[in-house]
Amino acid sequence: MSRTITAHMFSTLNGVVEHADHWQFDSFGPEEMQGMAEMTGKTTDLVLGRTLWEEWSGYWPGAQDPFAEWVNPVRKHVLTSTLTGELPWNSVIVPGDAAGYLEQLRQEPGGDIAIAGGIETIRRLVLAGLVDELTLTIHPVITGEGRRLFDDSVPTTRMRLLDSTQTQAGNIIATYALRSDTADA
């Protein structure tokens, strides 16, 4: 049985996913925390791009909260062409082809495989058809600047809605999968 590959991003109404720490916390309630707990409870492997790995590995090993309790021991797979050698923090470098590596990882025993980012990493893997479930927590905020997950460089791509819910904090949590008829004719 193959494992599920997931990705989750916090988004504004206008699609900005960058710097969620600047706009999400006034609308992050118990339902959002529960959703994060459910996701981390099923996930045994985490895929990160180099930049996010460097940020997180500099902060989370010394942190003490529920997310740190999960992220510190979980296996981390780092997509990088610049880091070499042994990595600390229960991390390994993904050698070469990320798609082939993820397909192989999917066949190994374990729980879900979560892709934490960054933005380009998630975008590339969603468009390559490697992400089974893309969850967006859409916050009721519009921000004038910041990068979007799917910017103007992305061709028309069809998704199908797997699940959605509205939280008491006013967020929409929507989970999508790539449709097989993704490209416009």
134 vs 174: CA distance, rounded Å: 8
Residue 117 lies in a domain: yes
Q: What is the CATH number of the domain that holds 27?
A: 3.40.430.10
Residue 35 lies in a domain: yes
Residue 107 lies in a domain: yes
Per-residue pLDDT of the chain (185 residues; tens, 9 = 90+): 689 999 999 999 999 999 988 888 888 888 888 888 888 889 999 999 999 999 999 999 999 988 899 999 999 999 999 999 999 999 999 988 899 999 999 999 999 999 998 899 899 999 999 999 999 999 999 998 999 999 999 999 999 999 999 999 999 999 999 998 765 53
170 vs 153: CA distance, rounded Å: 30
39 vs 51: CA distance, rounded Å: 22
Chain centroid to CA 136: 9
Q: What is the dihedral of CA 73, 97, 181, 12, to 10 degrees?
A: 50
Residue 184 lies in a domain: no
So what's the pLDDT on residue 182? 61
Is the overall model pTM greater than 0.85, yes or no? yes
Q: Domains in the chain: how many in total?
A: 1
So what's the pLDDT on residue 185? 38
Enclosing domain of residue 139: 5-178
Residue 59 lies in a domain: yes
Cβ(172)–Cβ(164) below 8 Å: yes
Residue 185 lies in a domain: no
Give the strands of the sheet with 75-79, arranged side by side: 91-93, 75-79, 43-49, 112-117, 5-11, 133-138, 172-178, 159-166
Residue 28 lies in a domain: yes
Residue 77 lies in a domain: yes
